[in-house]
Amino acid sequence: MALPSGASLVTLRASRGCSEFEATLSAAWEIGGPAPKLVKEPDAQPLLPSSAGDVDGDGSVEMIFDQGVLRSSGARYDRWEQLVVPYLDCGC
């Protein structure tokens, strides 16, 4: 997803199916300079935003997800505001 600031999100996921190995690693980089700049530390939570925008008018772009918002604290996207509902079953 390309953000107005030039940042791009990259998500990597490896999966074999139910009851088998499954892993997710996500991070975000800002593209636009001589080298990509990491703006979101790698995390096991998938980064699949449905939208992005300056939702609170502070001049910084927030990433909008189905269950929350990921905000920047300056140089990094590290402030989650989300609804967490535990999933305690198999996805089959």
User: pLDDT per residue over 30-68, tens digit each?
Assistant: 777 788 888 888 888 777 888 888 888 888 888 888 888
pTM: 0.66
- Better-scored residue on pLDDT, 28 or 22: 28
| Residues in the chain, total | 92
Q: What angle do CA 67, 1, 35 make, to 5 degrees?
A: 125
Q: Domain ranges for the chain, please list them.
A: 7-82
